[in-house]
């Protein structure tokens, strides 16, 4: 299976450095432009299926990226952004954001999903997708936190730090699972 993983385009909360988590924030004008650029970069790619987070920012991204292409889209709750509980809406500059990505750390905030919970959720998702699409190219439209943990799923712990797996807005990462 070949996975093309793309993070949604920019939102106003991204621009302001606010922790979105599961808050349903739409793309801003820059995010729509980024999605158009991603669409152009993927035009030559054969894509058999798209899985998309049901949050509006990912749905908008997928709609732009796939416009004019007859590619089925399935919305899947398992690829929504990591739940940060009461920290959603806080500035990432006012919390120890890097510490939230350390495996085996207890939740820093009430209602926060641990790294292990997110990894388990994504493992179930990717294992299911693999069982259905072993020989296909699958586009996954998702979120920054999901991009980090997806890297762990496909490649194991990073050689340096989590940033090597993190997708910037509308940047595509490719993974292969045989």
Task: Name the residues annotated as catalytic.
Answer: 8, 81
Residue 28, CA distances (Å) to 6, 8, 69 in order: 17, 11, 23
The span from the CA of 29 to the CA of 75, in Å, is 23
Long-range contacts of 69-74 (CB under 8 A, 24+ apart): 71/47, 71/139, 74/49, 74/50
Q: Give 139's DSSP letter.
A: E
């Amino acid at each position: 299976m070949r996975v093309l993983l793309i993070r949604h385009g920019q939102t106003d909360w991204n621009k302001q450095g606010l922790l979105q988590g599961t808050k349903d924030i739409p793309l801003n004008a820059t995010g729509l432009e980024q999605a158009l650029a991603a669409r152009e970069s993927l035009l030559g790619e054969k894509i058999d299926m798209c899985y998309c987070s049901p949050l509006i920012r990912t749905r908008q991204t997928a709609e732009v990226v796939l416009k004019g292409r007859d590619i089925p889209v399935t919305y899947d709750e398992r690829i929504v952004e990591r739940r940060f509980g009461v920290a959603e809406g806080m500035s990432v500059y006012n919390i120890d954001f890097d510490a939230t990505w350390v495996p085996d750390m207890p939740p820093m905030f009430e209602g926060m999903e641990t790294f292990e919970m997110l990894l388990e959720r994504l493992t179930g998702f990717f294992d299911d997708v693999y069982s259905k699409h072993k020989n296909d190219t699958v586009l996954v439209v998702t979120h920054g936190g999901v991009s980090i943990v997806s890297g762990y799923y496909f490649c194991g712990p990073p050689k340096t730090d989590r940033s090597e797996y993190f997708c910037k807005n509308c940047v595509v990462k490719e993974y292969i699972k045989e």
